[in-house]
Amino acid sequence: MAVPFFSVVIGALNAAATLPATIAALHEQTFTDWEAIVVDDGSADDTPGIVRRYAGADPRIRLLHASSRGVSAARNDGIAAAAGAWLLFLDADDTIFPDALDAWHRAIEAEADVDAWCGGWVRVAPGGDVVTHEQWPITPDMFPVLARLSAFPIHSCVVRRSIVFRSGGFDVGYITCEDWDLWQRLARAGARFGTIASDVARYHMRPRSASLAARQMLVDGLRVITTGHSADPRVTSPVEQYANGMPEGAAPAVRFGYLCWPAGLLLGDGADARSLFDLMAGERAADIDSGVVADAIFRSATLRRCAGPSAWGDLWPAIAPKLSRFLRTLEERTGARLLARRVFVALARSIFEHLPEASPLTCVGLTQLHTVDIRTPMQSLRLPRHVERVIVRVRAGAAMIGFLELPSCDGSLDAAVVRDAIAHEFGWSLLRGVLEATVYDQVGRRAAGGAPPGEEQERAARRHDAIGWTVFLQEIWDHPDWPAKAFYDPDWPSSEGAGAELRGEWISVDVLDPIADILSAESAVNAELCAGGVPVCCARVPVDEGVIRGSRVRALLMAAAGVELLHVAVREALIGAPENAGSLRERLSRRRALNVAAGTSAPPFAGAAPSASACIASIRARDRGVAIVAARRLGFPGSPASRRVDLPSRARRDVLAAARAAREPVIAGSKWRRRRVAYAPEVLYDGAQRPLDPPPHWPVANTSSFGRHHFESLFAGGSDPWRYTTAYESRKYEQTMSLLPPGPIRRALEIGCAEGHFTDALAARVEALAAVDISAIALERAAARCAHRENISFARLDLARDPLPPENDLIVCSELLYYVGTVDDLRQAGRKLRDALRPGGRLLTAHANVALDDPAGAGYMWDVPYGAKTIREVLSATPGLQLVRELRTALYSVMEFERGDESRAPVVLSAGFAMPEPHVAERIRWSGGEPAAVAPSPGAMLPILMYHRLSTSAAAASARYAVSPDAFREQLAYLRDAGFHTVSLADWTAALQKREPLPGRPVALTFDDAYLDFESVALPLLQQHGFGATLFVVTARPGGWNAWDAALGDPVRLMDWPAIQRVAASGIEIGAHSTTHPPMTGLTPAEIAREASRARLDIQERLKQPVTAFAYPYGDSDAVVQHLVGGCGFLSGVTCRFGVSALYDRPLRLPRIEIAGTDSLTDFIRKLGGR
């Protein structure tokens, strides 16, 4: 019998009722090269007989007998009997989709180096309904995930039999969680995981499934987590960085988070889950993530009912009292501040976003659900006194648009705030709807009509993304024949006739009107842009020889408005209007007609824009006693400074004081009753919406996209990134070796030795070999690989910057020259290589053909500036270098050059090649086509590093937050050497608004809490290396102690205000870290506003400078917190969510990268790349 590709191991115990469906699912497979080994674990029913009957009809099915030793032992017996190279473990009551094995097989064939392939899965109710579709985001290195949770069901993953066998199989000491333990061990040993996008497995839900044995699941799960945060003697050859598991200090929070899954099972069954705390042995976890708690309970509580998240509508009334008691106990046991409130907030969000519309449930804890239809007029909402948050379900007729979360303000939610938030969140897609109906090519839409609905929608979305902005500008300005650039061109055309009006020192321009040139004796005037009478932005316009040119006014206002023009147009023209209300201009014209008499009163304050009176009157018409804060003095249109926000009356004093300190106009409200504050960005004035004034810029280094950090990060992400041992690379190595000079080679240099695979072979042919690479991580691995060679020396070297060792008989420099930079940089590298050779010495290079070099020939679609063709031409043109021989294949060339002046005709030989792996081959363009785009600028991404303290004396409990000065010095040295330069968060906020990359390779360094050691230790090191930083201050605590970390037992002194003033004067950017350092999602809206506005006021008063950056304490934020913090005057907010920030990020929820005291330099490099 032929060896099968897959061996399916099915453990079965009294499975007569379900096993036939499991086997039937195998018979339905479109890929048929499998065997099934059913291991009967001592069944008392007809399970063995059923298997025998199937086996009699299908020789691919076999029966093994076990002796009731449990599922782990049964599966181990199946592993021992399996013949296939790949294993699938399938429970006798679950099934897989008909194309599952085929999907796995195609993935395996495509990427030979992956050891385990995971797909999606569905949960199936007893009646056959699919209640959830689930898939965990799989990465090649899954150990950090598997150290804390079980990421996928066992039958959604196939795995190499060889690595399971080497691991010892399943641990028979587990009753549950045995699969999680196995995956964790495999990941610790270096197994690579891959993902399949489709669903492959069905998990059939049953009320009393063994997997729902909550207490046993907790016992076993805690054991797996503890193992994942310590050394595991069962894994004899772990990946070095995981030899001791994940940091032990993180384990308590992980254990408490995991406890909430079995707790959810018990709560969903009506039981009291507090008994589970008996298993926690007095642990504390003040840093537990409330989102993890909420997600675990949300996903597990409905499983006892064999239902999905939609069942929460019925479950909530029954579960609420016991859940409340459980969360209070969890808060008490962990020591996490305001944990119960934070969990309720997050849980309510998940419940409402999955709730069927027919459900009567409208209130969960402090959160209420409200549905709005954008096609009908919106009314302000009166709310019960206890409600603090509103989940807004947004619809357009029968179509679902999405969800918003907004704060209650003094028992109400203003319709103006809702409309503005909808336009900001969904404006682009809403614009597409009206343009589809009124502007876009009807013929094109009919042509797409035969396509499947999903494909037609995707095509329409792509079209909108490609041309939507241009069409929007053409429509709103009524210039259908203008290209997009014309609206930003001050010379296109010079005048459009009458229309602009000069009111004092103001010009008011509306997109509905033509723009005229205006005479003026001023040197410059203010201009405001309106859409349908509603202000968008303002700008200062210069007067050119007594004339204000209309085209210049339009260009300056359009450049200032940015995407805010879209937000205002959508808000005023689309939201609250019926579907068939006409074109965008027609809708805006009707909007302006409603306010035809507006703006006739006197300006409300000095310098106010012409529209200010009408805007204030509109707000006062809804609430006569409201206090109004005009637009921010700092903050560009489209930023958080442009969002309408209502702030609670209890925060009124701090909000208004902070606004006045920033010299922002305040229009006072009722003197008799304390009323809410409306932040109204539409109230414009002279000096509003100024660009940010970032701190003095620190030096910017010129850097290539492929500098040291590119390679260090690549190797930090894992070993063998180039797949050196594939047939493709091995053949290239052999061809390179074939061009070595036949005689003895005394002195050789290998540039770009990577991890030493070719180095080892080359060393056997030379007397002395210097192996160099730009990556210290790669060199360390190369030295280990070649430790048996005594004739190799290793050194770190950057070809573009460092001198080369001279007098070499041979230099090998392969797969490297693409990365030196421009063609001029390549010419310089060629001269350096020549000079490092002795006369008659040889240079060997191997480089791939790149599409950018030769659009007509075969080549790789890589984002490098050139390939083998350009490298051949440049090196051949280098004086003193002669091309001697070349092995030329369809995909790459191996070239031999000699140092000498005698010209000769090179010998060019055609050669074959081994096909690269499929994921590499898919980047080959075999015959013509467009070349790949050049590499994106490094400045399109920003690692925002998060530090706390620099110390060597931190207590064990706080070691994570204390980086040693020596480690920090090493990190700064690496950043400088790798070409990084620091930027402020003000710089990055401006870049986000413009969607323009920053120059060079930027990094932001942030320090939370303002510890005393920042001035004494961090600042001198920063200055020594030419870097800056952002310091986040808890403004009620300068000169005090870190009381928020009391649970760590390590009190540390904070900087006082004079010290903060000194570091600010040195160029350090100062941001706010709240007033008292609370977890902000656990606060009321009024408390959030007070924490943010008071911190803003403190810094402005103490430092006499604006503050626009906010760091959420503990990284704890959500949409409501961000909305209120933005409304209090902040333009950027940083979280503790791990990741590298990108140009599409929302400025008030920027990710950061925590640098821990336990991080090695390799860990630091890995984290810089977002890994």
**443: pLDDT confidence band, cut at 50, 70 and 90?**
very low
Quick one: pLDDT band at residue 882, thresholds 50, 70, 90? very high
Confidence class for position 853, pLDDT limits 50, 70, 90: confident
Q: Report helix angle 312-334 to 251-268, nearest 10.
A: 140
Say yes or no to pLDDT of 450 above 70: no
Print the domain residue range for 724.
710-925
Between residues 12 and 520, which one has the greater pLDDT? 12
Given a cut of 60, whether residue 1145 has pLDDT beyond it is: yes
The confidence score (pLDDT) of residue 693 equals 64
pLDDT at residue 933, rounded to an integer: 53
Q: Is the pLDDT of residue 921 over 90?
A: no
Residue 211: what pLDDT?
47
Of 899, 925, 951, which marks where a domain is finished? 925
**Model-level pTM?**
0.90
Q: What integer pLDDT is reported at residue 531 of this predicted model?
A: 96
CATH number at residue 736: 3.40.50.150
pLDDT of residue 683: 96
Mean pLDDT of 642-665: 96
> What's the rounded mean pLDDT across residues 180-193?
97
Report residue 426 CA to chain centroid gap.
Answer: 20
Tell me, yes or no, whether 280 lies in a domain: no
pLDDT (tens digit per residue) in 1095-1104:
999 999 999 9
pLDDT for 739 equals 92
Q: How confident is the model at residue 1062 (pLDDT cuts 50, 70, 90)?
A: very high
- Render pLDDT for 708-720 as a digit per residue (tens, 0 to 9): 888 888 888 777 7
Lowest mean pLDDT among 528-537, 601-610, 1024-1033: 601-610
CA dist 635 and 638 (Å) reads 9
Element at 382 (helix H, strand E): strand 381-382
pLDDT value, residue 388: 97
**Which of the four pLDDT bands, split at 50, 70 and 90, describes residue 223?**
very high
How confident is residue 599, by pLDDT bands cut at 50, 70 and 90? Answer: very low
883 and 960 belong to one structural domain: no
Single-letter code of the amino acid located at 1102: R
Across 62-66, 451-455, 727-731, least confident range = 451-455
- Do residues 22 and 204 touch, judged by C-beta distance below 8 A? no
Residue 286 lies in a domain: no
Are 919 and 980 contained in the same domain? Answer: no
Q: Check if the beta carbon of residue 818 is closer than 8 Å to that of residue 757.
A: no
Instruction: Give the integer Cα–Cα distance in Å for 288 and 1154.
Output: 16
User: Length of the chain, please?
Assistant: 1171
Distance in angstroms (rounded) separating the CA atoms of residues 104 and 94:
18
Instruction: Tell whether 946 and 895 lie within a shared domain.
Output: no
Q: Is the pLDDT of residue 26 over 80?
A: yes
Residues 949 and 906 placed together within one structural domain of the fold: no
- Cβ(146)–Cβ(180) below 8 Å: yes
In a domain, 549, yes or no: no
Least Cα distance to 413 among 386, 388, 376, 377 occurs for: 388
| Structure tokens, 793 | 């020396």
Average pLDDT, the chain: 91
Find the range with the poorest average confidence among 440-454, 818-832, 835-849, 914-928. 440-454
700-703 LR contacts (CB < 8 Å, sep 24+): 700/981, 700/999, 700/1000, 701/976, 701/979, 701/980, 701/981, 701/1000, 701/1001, 702/979, 702/1000, 703/938, 703/978, 703/979, 703/980, 703/1000, 703/1001
948 and 921 inside one domain:
no
pLDDT bracket for residue 74 (50, 70, 90): very high
**Domain-located, residue 986:** yes
In this predicted structure, which of 573-582, 743-752, 835-844, 877-886 has the lowest mean pLDDT?
A: 573-582
Summarize the confidence of residues 879-897 as an average pLDDT: 95
Q: What is the pLDDT at residue 698?
A: 57
Residue 360 has pLDDT above 50, yes or no: yes
Task: Identify the pLDDT of residue 700.
Answer: 57
Q: Is residue 240 part of a domain?
A: yes
Q: Specify the CATH number for the domain of residue 1037.
A: 3.20.20.370
Contact call for residues 959 and 1157 (beta carbons, < 8 A): yes
Q: State the pLDDT at residue 695.
A: 55
Same domain, 852 and 776: yes
pLDDT of 463 > 80? The answer is yes
Give yes or no: residues 906 and 953 share one domain. no
Task: Determine the pLDDT at residue 447.
Answer: 37
pLDDT of residue 444: 45
Is residue 293 classed as helix, strand or coil in its secondary structure?
helix
For residue 1067, tell me if it sits in a domain.
Answer: yes
Q: Read out DSSP for 836-871?
A: TEEEEEEEEEEEE-BTTT-TTS-EE--SSS--HHHH
Is 991 in the same domain as 1117?
Answer: yes
Asked whether residue 15 is domain-assigned, the answer is yes
What is the distance between the alpha carbons of residues 985 and 679, in angstroms, rounded to a whole number? Answer: 23
Task: Give yes or no for residue 448 having a pLDDT over 70.
Answer: no
Same-domain check for residues 842 and 948:
no
- The domain boundary residue, chosen from 205, 223, 244: 244
Instruction: Look at residue 315 and tell me whether its pLDDT is greater than 50.
Output: yes
Distance (Å, whole) CA 813 – CA 871: 12
Q: Note whether 19 and 115 are same-domain residues.
A: yes
Contacts for 734 with CB less than 8 Å, ≥ 6 apart = none
Residue 615 lies in a domain: no
764 and 830 share a domain? yes
Give residue 699's pLDDT band: very low, low, confident or very high (50, 70, 90). low
Residue 283 CB neighbour total at 10 angstroms: 15
Q: At residue 931, what is the residue type?
A: P
pLDDT of residue 207: 78
- Domain boundary among the residues 209, 244, 279 is at 244
pLDDT at 1168: 92
Containing 711, the helix (H) or strand (E) segment is: helix 708-716
Q: Is the pLDDT reported for residue 897 higher than 90?
A: yes
Domains of the chain: total: 3
Question: Which CATH number characterizes residue 220's domain?
Answer: 3.90.550.10
pLDDT band at 858 (very low <50, low <70, confident <90, very high): confident
Does 674 have pLDDT greater than 70?
Answer: no
DSSP codes of every residue in 539-559: EEEE-BTTEE-HHHHHHHHHH
H or E segment and range at residue 529: strand 524-531
721 and 838 in a common domain: yes
Question: What's the pLDDT at 496?
Answer: 63
Could you give the C-alpha distances from 589 to 584, 585, 1154, in angstroms and in order? Answer: 9, 6, 51
When mean pLDDT is compared across 263-277, 318-332, 434-448, 656-670, the lowest value belongs to 434-448
CA terminus-to-terminus distance, the chain: 45
Q: Which of 339-353, 604-618, 643-657 has the lowest mean pLDDT?
A: 604-618
Please say if the pLDDT value at position 1086 is more than 80.
Answer: yes
Instruction: Give the pLDDT mean for 918-943.
Output: 74
Q: Which residues contact 791 (CB under 8 A, 6 or more apart)?
A: 763, 766, 767, 768, 769
What CA–CA distance (Å, rounded) separates 13 from 7? 19
The per-residue pLDDT for 449 is 44
Among 432-436, 763-767, 830-834, whose mean pLDDT is lowest?
432-436
Q: What span, in angstroms and rounded, lies between the C-alpha atoms of 642 and 849?
A: 50
Give the integer Cα–Cα distance in Å for 771 and 523: 66
Look at strands 892-899 and 1001-1008 and give their pairing: unpaired
Torsion sign, CA atoms 973, 975, 978, 981 = negative
598 pLDDT tier (thresholds 50, 70, 90): very low
What percent of the chain stands above pLDDT 90?
76
